Chain A
Amino acid sequence: MTLSLDWMIPLIPEEIVIIFALAALAVDFAIVRRMNPAVRWRVIGATACAGCVGAMIWIGRATNYGTSEMLALSPLTQFIKLALLGLALVVVVLSLDARFTRHTGEYYALLLLATAGLMLLISSENLLMIFIALEILSVPLYVLTAFDKTREASAEAALKYFLFGSVAAAFTLFGISLLYGMTGELGLGAIAAKLRTQPVEPVCYAALVMTLIGFAFKVAAAPFHFWAPDVYEGAPAPIACFVASASKVASFFVLAKIVIDGFGPIRGGAAWNDFRAGWMPVLAVLAVLSMAGGNIAALAQTSVKRLLAYSAIAHGGYALLAFFGNARQMLPALLFYVITYALTVLGALAVAGAVENSANGDRMAAWAGLGRRAPLLAVCMFIFMLSLAGIPPLAGFFGKFYLFTAAAAGQPHLGMLWLVIVAVGASAISLYYYLQVLKQIYAVPPPAGAMPLRASRAALFPIALLAALVIVFGCAPGWLLGRLSAVLNSSAF
């Protein structure tokens, strides 16, 4: 028997990322450890950048698609990996000015490992693989959340995140084992085939719920959201950005994959006149709880990061609406929404990070007069906030519009209209708290003697770029949507 390395070929992008993760560690250890922090962060950051860019280039050029029992490589998965690498790249750049830790090499290595987990998650076709990828992603994130040793909040958030993550993972694993017990399969396609032919028992629904829990936790859907505000507030700013954007995009994609590919036959119904057991009512309940809970809780926040966390919960609720669209619309609607949302929230959290650095905290008062202290940051925040509130012509508006129309027309006789009305109403309320932030920025005078806020170029450039993207994707959504439809059509999802 000869040792074949063929199995490694489809995973080359992931391998590139992992190799550069190790390289970051090696460079730190061997070369730059004793240099001054600015140089050290730049060199290791550049290594991490190279890893992301290298993987992106490889994905851009590779065309060997195919599906095995474990993994699927399709234009769609590759496109999403590109998007994730792009988001990770922004986080890498945003971290360049971080000074909260002396363990630079470890920091970037863990960040890249988490990215590799994300990429593996996208490709997985098998529940066990999905679970493993999820853990590869989660464990580095727990560590990274605790990375800021100077702040107690960071450790506390990490502990909560970890504990919840473990509980959620336990439930998911339990669900998977139940499914395996019933069907004898772990591949998504095989499970669907079994569910189609054999009678569905009640325990099957229990398995379904348990399996979905892990993802409800990852996308921070209420009532599995308790970790989110703490993590957004406590984790180092770039890590909060990563959790809020890249991790969320991947989780939503995998959730879609599981419910459509794996649980397709036990769809159920959540229309107002047709409530049947299946994943639809589960997601409908999660969506309503998230939209209502997230928005109401956000009204009372005084920390902008916590506010963004609760708004993220609400946005998770909106995104769940996509699952009620018809087969052709649901994925483009979902992916367009979560990708543009990721760009927006990444920018908003990055601004929050910059403000926090200068003012020791992100309480509302720290934002007072930002319009005069840092005009460019303030304008970008203005754009992010309005996009989150769904004001045209920004990306957040078109995403919502497409999502809501997909859900409204997706079921016969406008069955899901009730959920759409809840969503439109919830997003109308949400404007209120976004405007509170803007009021602080523009209307409230800065505290006496406040200095102009000087953000570094490493922070300003990505933020401005993200703001520009939010405008471009809002004014011309055709490009991204067209790409998404094209890769979907050629991927036989």
Chain B
Amino acid sequence: MNDPLPWLILFLPLLAAVLIALFLQGKPRLSALVSVGAVVVSFILSLDLLAQFLGGAMLSAKFNWLRVGHLTIDFALRFDALSLLMVLIVTGVGAVIHIYSVGYMKGDPGYPRFFGCMSLFTFSMLGVVLSGNFFQMFIFWELVGVCSYLLIGFWHRRPAAADAAKKAFLTNRLGDFGFFTGIILVWSMAGTMDFIRVREEMMRNPELFDAAATGVGLLIFCGAVGKSAQFPLHVWLPDAMEGPTPVSALIHAATMVAAGVYMICRVFFIFNVPALQIIAWIGGLTALMAGLIAVQQDDIKRILAYSTLSQLGYMVMAVGLGEPPAAMFHLGTHAFFKALLFLAAGSVIHGMSHEQDIWKMGRLKERMPLTFWTFLAGALALCGLWPFSGFFSKDAILALACEKSPTLFAVGIFVAFLTTFYMFRLILVVFFNRSKSDAAGHAHESPLIMVVPLFVLAAASIFGGFFGIEQFLAPQFAPAPEAASFFIKAAGFGFAAFAAGAVTAFALYFKAQSDPLPAQMQWTCGLLRHKFYFDEIYAELIDLTQESLAKAANALDFVLKLVIRALHGTAELTGRALRLAQTGNLQTYTLLFAAGIAVVLYFMLLH
């Protein structure tokens, strides 16, 4: 099929980015218009594609990108239920956030650059989603990483932002190290990188990966650990909040971090049982750890960031438990309400003249009523209260855990309790209570262009659960057995967790002027406030490796110096005439040169 439609969806944002980069640097209004226009048109076109898909059309588009010897790589766009859902989320939520940014970023000197990067990001993300093979996916995967680097470091004159951008890029790169190795392995063993063909090969020959099957699966999963910020590579996401708030909403909540979850759903067939078990536990662990940390954070964006980590943990857990549709369902609803929460938080920050500490806010419900009500809708969806969208998707995951693993079910319920607790803590401290600073007293509601997107997302967050996303996806994966009893049990426990969380939060924070918890539980709170000391431990580890490397280098130097002195002595004895150059340095170098030859000869002749 050579329909231009799929290509347009992908390349319109790129076109916008190129236009902005080349021609619109000095024209903020026009650049915003082009960028917003591109993503909105992409969204409308993907709705059209959805209609075609529901009408039974098989959609795909590809051309041959490279054919050398037996290496053939297609540039293929793949449309199925899974990718269409993601395309709709990326362009739909993306469009709303683009529009919101028009207001939020107003007056920033880098306005055109911002929209250029946003468009480039949309393009890359669509590329990841539509990829038909590992190679293409990896290219866009890294492009997404580059865009994230550019956008986190958008205010690059702030050292914290520049450092956060670097940290995010490097941490992701660690995960990609595994991903890339996994891709090379898949290609070497299966002889193809196309998702469909790899799957066929595996069906034809179940022993394809042999003993390496678990290894291959886990290496591929490494990519998701980096991008979706799972334990132990989660450290970059909270720092990424240094970027502008719309970026946090689009990239670090709704779409990019979801790419990891999407990827493991896309290549679900490659994981065997042991690999899936490890994936499930990493997801559960991340959910638990991030939920705990969120309880003691004071920065409004960081609380939301840890909550994102925790929800991503849920999704990864669902994939590990063998149910990608449940993960994607939660990914969809989460995209709505987390984008909403971030944009509403952005509205608060905007109204508070860029104050982010929740203990300096208070009583904002009266000053920013529209923001408050939409924030509340997002929060209730996140906590999973019926009939908000989060209820349905979270319940699906909890029911799954209930069926497959009691321990993970317990973890899931406890995380649900934590979620409610920290969200109500945030709401009570920020919107109720007494105002705790001048800025809070003078806070003002945001302009219309920022508030309308909030309402759109709020509507999606409330009703998103009724669209039947799970049923839409189910045919693509093995059908799940319907087990109503688990759903009811999970819903019961889930509501109990919600109630408990809400009640505890009210008891502790309804009138609190400062956080009462640290006084009562010093040790635990210290641990949580310092995020379990992950950053410190990693810094220490890096220092340690660097130090030991330096020491090793020193030791080597010392040995070499001894050898050189010994030889130098002999040279003196055998006659000064033989000494060529006196610079010393040169002699050392030449000696090392000869030593190098000796090493190589040793390997050759004695092995």
Contacts and interface: CB of A to CB of B under 8 A. Distances in A.
A425 B175 CA distance: 11
Interface of B: 65-69, 71, 135, 138-140, 142-143, 145-146, 153, 156-157, 159, 162, 166, 169-170, 173-174, 176-177, 180-181, 184-185, 187-189, 549, 580-581, 583, 585-586, 589-590, 592-597, 599-601, 603-605, 607
A424 B185 CA distance: 12
A465 interface: no
Interface in A186-222: 202, 205-206, 208-210, 213, 222
B135 A431 contact: no
A443 B156 contact: yes
B66 A443 contact: no
A226 B68 contact: no
Interface of A is mostly: helix
Contact of B589 (A226, A285, A421, A428): A226
Contact of A443 (B157, B184, B585): B157
Q: Which of A401, A421, A432 has the most chain B CB within a 10 Å cutoff?
A: A401
Which of B181, B189, B590 is most buried by chain A, counting CB atoms within 10 A of its CB?
Answer: B181
Q: Identify which of A405, A442, A443, A445 gathers the most chain B CB atoms within 10 Å of its CB.
A: A443
Nearest to B161: A443
A206 B597 CA distance: 10
A390 B586 CA distance: 34
Contact of B549 (A160, A226, A296, A439): A296
B468 to A, nearest CB: 36
A285 B176 contact: no
Interface in A275-301: 275-277, 281-282, 285-286, 296
A478 B170 CA distance: 29
A397 B189 CA distance: 21
Closest 3 CB pairs of A and B: A223-B596, A443-B162, A392-B139
A210 to B, nearest CB: 8
Contact of A431 (B170, B181, B187, B595): B170
A431 B172 CA distance: 11
A285 B593 CA distance: 15
Given A209-B604, A408-B184, A443-B157, A477 B66 contact: yes
B158 to A, nearest CB: 9
B188 A414 contact: yes
Contact of A167 (B67, B590, B605): B590
Residue from A205, A223, A296 having most chain B Cβ neighbours under 10 A: A223
A164 interface: yes
Contacts of A485: 68-69
A286 to B, nearest CB: 7
Contact of A432 (B69, B170, B595, B597): B170
B159 A443 contact: yes
Interface string A223-244: 1101100000000000000000
Contacts of B605: 202, 205-206, 277
Contacts of B580: 163
A392 B139 CA distance: 5
A332 interface: yes
A442 B149 CA distance: 12
Interface string A400-412: 0110110011000
A332 B590 contact: no
Contacts of A131: none
A213 B592 contact: no
12 contacts: A163-B580, A163-B589, A208-B604, A224-B593, A408-B184, A414-B189, A417-B185, A417-B188, A432-B170, A435-B169, A443-B159, A476-B65
Given A421-B181, A428-B176, A445-B157, A405 B599 contact: no
Interface string A132-159: 0000000000000000000000000001
Interface of A: 159-160, 163-164, 167-168, 171, 202, 205-206, 208-210, 213, 222-224, 226-227, 275-277, 281-282, 285-286, 296, 328-329, 332, 386, 391-393, 397, 401-402, 404-405, 408-409, 414, 417, 420-421, 424-425, 428, 431-432, 435, 439, 442-443, 445, 476-478, 481-482, 485
Given A209-B601, A409-B187, A428 B174 contact: yes
Contact of B139 (A296, A332, A397, A443): A397
A279 to B, nearest CB: 9
A476 B68 CA distance: 12
A393 B181 contact: no
Greatest chain A CB density within 10 A among B68, B146, B187 is at B68
Given A397-B142, A477-B66, A281 B188 contact: no
A420 B68 contact: no
A428 B187 contact: no
B173 A160 contact: no
A432 B157 CA distance: 19
Contact of A478 (B65, B181, B184, B603): B65
Contacts of A205: 601, 604-605
Given A167-B590, A405-B188, A481 B66 contact: yes
Contact of B593 (A167, A425, A439, A443): A167
Contacts of B162: 439, 442-443
Contacts of B181: 420-421, 424
Given A332-B69, A409-B187, 13 more contacts: A159-B586, A163-B580, A163-B589, A206-B604, A222-B596, A282-B600, A285-B603, A392-B142, A404-B184, A421-B181, A432-B170, A476-B65, A481-B68
Nearest to B594: A167
A196 B544 CA distance: 51
A163 B169 contact: no
Contacts of B180: 401, 404, 424
A276 B607 CA distance: 7
B153 A443 contact: yes
A31 B151 CA distance: 56
Contact of B169 (A167, A227, A431): A431
Contacts of B189: 414
Contacts of B583: 159
A136 to B, nearest CB: 23
